[in-house]
Amino acid sequence: MKPTEGRSFDLRSAMFGSMHGLIGVGIFSAVINVLALTGSVYMLQVYDRVLPSQSVPTLVGFTIGMLGLYAVYGLLDFVRLRLLVRIGSRLHRNLQHKAFAASLSLPLVAGPDANRVQPLRDLDQLRGFLSGLGPTVVFDVPWIPFYMVVIYLLHPSLGVLATLGALAVVFVTVVAEVVSRRPAARASETLVAQRLLADSGRRNAEVVQAMGLSARLGRRWGEISHLYLRNQERLSDIVGATSSLSKTLRMALQSCVLGLGAYLVIGGEASPGVIIASSILLGRSLAPVDVAIANWRGFLATRRSYSDLAKALDAFDSQQEVMELPRPQTQLVVEELTVAPPSLQKPTVINVSFRLSKGAGLAIVGPSGSGKTTLVRALVGAWKPLRGTVRLDGASLDQWNSELLGTHIGYLPQDVELFDGTIADNISRFGGQGDARGVLAAARTAGVDKMIMRLPDGFQTRIGEGGANLSAGQRQLVGLARALYGDPFLVVLDEPNSNLDADGDVALAGAILAVRERGGIAIVVAHRPSALVNIDQVLVLSNGMLHSFGSREDVLANVIRPFPRPERPGAIVPMQKGAGGHA
């Protein structure tokens, strides 16, 4: 099985895993549909036996039997609905961890388009549909021919009329399904675009306020909202027209059956009870169609959610069972690495190779857009390379279990994202409260322990979503402590001093030195010279390709030319390509 087939296979397996419960629902539905004949049989007996005989005891007996059967009907229907709720919950429990993992991994596979796919929302849509009346239609529709046969037994003419009417109602429903597909898809797409714009504006509220973007974003949101409402109105019109037409056909059909039954009674071809019984049977046979129309939007949304969830799980590369490898402690080797952003094929890092041994400290420098961040994202395994390999002690990153590999890597991205929880939770990577010593050691190495202790609740201070209760510099230092937690072998820091003051620069230099002294490898993406303290090697990227690699003194002497008054104090300005040597 291919890796990309495994996750949708999990979805199908989860659906088939509910088969026992669905079989139970099918059995209950069969009994319920048989018991649905109670009303017709009761009316047939009342008109054909009770009224001609004028027997009250007979009427009482039939009435008691009818009430008993309806009681069983109601009980079984309640049990069926409870069983469907449990089936939906079981499906959710079986897939929730995979869907959550897919939602976390999709940005690394689909790039910007990942925001348009929401596996958790799709899974919840599936659960909600399975827990409602929608699935009962699937089990009730096959019983329509059964009711038609019973009507035929009452009289063939009634059966022909009922069959033609039922076919007309079903035809209207099928046409509505075909016509509503495109509006439903467009309505879903515009709804997602609407939510994404609103979420983006909320995340960037400061920029919106400071730059006066509120009105412009409001107009843009209004345009998308107009498209959504227009598509939703069209979908509602189709569903409403289908519902009205189906209801009109059903009512007219039942009246026609009554009229035809009366005609047959007048002609002596049927008994009076046939009139009411056939009308009740026809109404019951078309009940699943009415339920389907009432839940039509749910059907459309569920079908789209199932498709989107299957695609999302397919895009999420399944974790294969791998042998547990020993802790890396010797070297990092990069072999002809070519990397492109997720969902793109044009590489931004091309054919980069270098080797670092334990205790090394590497600075990656280069102009903006040269591919530095792309390179480090591939080094930590966040982005998959198009070609080439990253190896730790000879093993490529894809040979490692991702969770175990994460314990050997510390990563500080450009935009530090912290999670809602305590500072200790974030530093320990949500590993629990059992490693207070490790949390304190990481904070001390990052030089942030004293700052944390000055907070009202110390390490138990809740930082809010995204670290909103901390300053940018504090978030960066807490992120540095998180990267250092557990003494990982490879520590990769992407512009770690962008928000640090002089004291923060000193703490950063000390952290880099600590990593190297314990035999780890420290890699720093740098724009400011203060980040080059305690670094012994430099790699220069230019246009995504390796420009120079070697000792700090040699590379800086050949590649970097000083300016007496640089426009940005401390800026590193690479020379034109061709200066210096190559790796």
CB-CB contact of 118 with 146 (8 Å): no
Is the backbone of residue 541 left (phi > 0), alpha (psi -120 to 50) or beta?
Answer: beta
pLDDT of residue 484: 92
Strands (E), 517-567: 521-525, 537-542, 545-551
CA 202 to chain CA centroid, Å, is 21
205 Rama class: left (phi>0) / alpha (psi -120 to 50) / beta: alpha
What is the pLDDT, as a whole number, of residue 537? 92
Rounded Cα gap, residues 500 and 476, in angstroms: 8
3-state secondary structure of 540: strand
Q: How far is 35 from 71, CA to CA, in rounded Å?
A: 10
CA–CA dist 66, 471 (Å, integer)? 73
Model pLDDT, residue 560: 53
Q: DSSP letters along 247-277, please?
A: HHHHHHHHHHHHHHHHHHHHTTSS-HHHHHH
Each residue's pLDDT expressed in tens, for the chain with a length of 583 residues: 344 444 456 677 777 777 888 888 889 999 998 898 888 888 888 888 888 888 899 999 999 999 999 999 999 999 998 998 888 888 888 888 888 877 777 767 665 555 666 788 888 888 888 888 878 888 888 888 888 888 888 888 988 988 888 888 878 877 877 887 788 778 877 877 777 777 777 767 766 777 777 787 788 878 888 888 888 888 888 878 877 887 788 888 888 888 888 888 888 888 888 888 888 888 888 888 777 777 777 777 888 888 888 877 776 655 556 677 888 989 999 999 999 988 777 899 999 999 999 999 999 988 888 889 999 999 998 888 999 999 999 889 888 887 888 889 999 988 888 888 888 888 888 876 668 888 999 999 988 888 889 888 888 888 876 666 788 888 888 999 999 998 999 999 998 888 788 888 888 889 999 999 999 999 999 876 667 788 889 999 988 899 889 888 888 777 655 433 334 433 443 433 333 333 3
Q: What is the per-residue pLDDT for 4?
A: 41
Structural domains in the chain plus CATH codes: 96-314 (1.20.1560.10), 331-560 (3.40.50.300)
How far apart, in whole angstroms, are the C-alpha atoms of residue 250 and residue 165?
Answer: 8
d(CA 406, CA 429): 10
Helix, strand, or coil (residue 430): coil
CA quadruple 252, 257, 263, 269: dihedral, nearest 10: 170
Q: Could you tell me the two tokens for 273?
A: 């009870």
Pairing relationship of beta strands 331-339 and 387-392 according to DSSP bridges: antiparallel
Please tell me the distance from the alpha carbon of residue 82 to that of residue 79, in angstroms, as a whole number: 5
Q: What is the DSSP string of 144-183?
A: HHHHHHHHHHH-HHHHHHHHHHHHHHHHHHHHHHHHHHHH
Between CA 322 and CA 11 the distance in angstroms is 23
Buried b (16+ CB within 10 A) or exposed e, 300-318: bbbebbbebbbbbbbbbbb
In whole angstroms, give the CA distance from residue 440 to residue 461. 14
Structure tokens at 314: 């397919």
Query: What is the value of pTM for the model shown?
Result: 0.67
Partners of 352 in beta bridges? 337
Residue 564: strand, helix, or coil: coil
Amino acid at 484: L
Task: Measure the CA–CA gap between 395 and 393, rounded to whole angstroms.
Answer: 6
How many H-runs (helices) and E-runs (strands) does the chain carry? 22, 10
Query: What is residue 211's predicted lDDT score, i.e. its pLDDT?
Result: 72
DSSP 331: E
At residue 498, φ and ψ (nearest 5 deg) are -65, -25
